[in-house]
């Protein structure tokens, strides 16, 4: 029997949920790569010393979350992630010399720390939110100029180990890191745009005078089964934002 790891596995969770975390960790650690067929339900149940029904529940959760896919008559496979490009940025960023070509801004992680979750973050995460979480501060730049200042809140123990990651390994996009390192897939997000006043931190990193007006974006990001994974609050230089909507078009 393989023991469940202490990291990223909350002992308060039911056994199938802890098995889900263990299997997701094996995917995140590269033991099974996208496209690989994983061992059968019977073999995994024997390996972990659990009932077959319990293992089936754990695998079903990973299928529902989009990490695994079942192929009738063949087996269960690690799913190739299909990231939507619009999840990688709040708004499309365009080079003035190439307005039709969206770009990904440069990212710099400023700080990472374990914190008490603010009330608005707890409300966003819902009833199963713990009292503590991770907070990242990040600045996004385009052509060397600051564009966005981000405060990103993540759940614990989902992201145990993130503090020790080399920022250079994380790159400009976080959601691929969430999947590759922690087995967590972000499939949808809600962004809300308003306008407000720069905080001391956002004014500093956006190179604005104190109390300057800023665009404010709040994002709630979810996994495929609707569990809220991330709360993000962003301040942006208002002169860099434009709002455009196309009416009368049908989208599928």
Is residue 242 predicted with pLDDT exceeding 80?
A: no
- Contact, 129 vs 154, CB < 8 A? no
Domains of the chain, by residue range, sit at 15-78, 85-240
CA separation for the pair 83, 85 (Å, rounded):
6
Q: CATH number for the 15-78 domain, one of 1.10.150.120, 1.10.10.10, 3.40.50.300, 3.30.70.260?
A: 1.10.10.10
Residue 130 binned pLDDT confidence (cut-offs 50, 70, 90): confident
What is the structure's pLDDT at 50?
Answer: 95
HEC profile of 16-42: HHHHHHHHHHHHHCCCCCCCCECCCHH
- Count of H helices and E strands in the chain? 7, 10
- Between 231 and 65, the more confident residue is 231
Does domain 85-240 sit in CATH 3.40.1410.10? yes
pLDDT tens-digit readout, 81-121: 665 555 554 445 544 444 454 556 788 999 999 999 999 99
């Amino acid at each position: 029997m393989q023991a469940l790891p202490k990291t990223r596995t909350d002992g308060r969770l039911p056994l199938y949920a802890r098995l889900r975390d263990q299997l997701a960790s094996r995917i995140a650690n590269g033991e099974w790569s996208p496209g690989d067929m994983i061992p059968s339900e019977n073999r995994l149940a024997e390996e972990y010393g659990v009932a077959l029904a319990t293992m089936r529940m754990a695998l079903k959760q990973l299928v529902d979350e989009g990490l695994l896919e079942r192929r009738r008559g063949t087996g269960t496979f690690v799913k190739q992630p299909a990231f939507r490009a619009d999840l990688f940025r709040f708004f499309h960023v365009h080079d003035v010399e190439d307005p039709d070509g969206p770009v990904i801004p440069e990212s710099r992680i400023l700080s990472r720390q374990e914190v008490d979750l603010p009330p608005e973050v707890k409300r966003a995460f819902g009833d199963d939110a713990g009292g503590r979480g991770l907070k990242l501060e990040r600045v996004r730049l385009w052509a060397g100029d600051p564009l966005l200042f981000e405060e990103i809140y993540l759940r614990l123990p989902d992201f145990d180990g993130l503090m020790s990651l080399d920022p250079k390994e994380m790159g400009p996009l976080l959601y691929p890191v969430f999947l590759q390192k922690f087995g967590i897939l972000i499939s949808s997000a809600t962004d809300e745009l308003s306008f407000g006043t720069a905080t001391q931190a956002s004014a500093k990193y956006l190179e604005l005078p104190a109390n300057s007006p800023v665009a404010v974006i709040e994002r709630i990001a979810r996994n495929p089964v609707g569990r809220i994974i991330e709360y993000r609050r962003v301040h942006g230089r208002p002169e860099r934002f434009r709002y455009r909507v196309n009416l009368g078009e049908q989208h599928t």
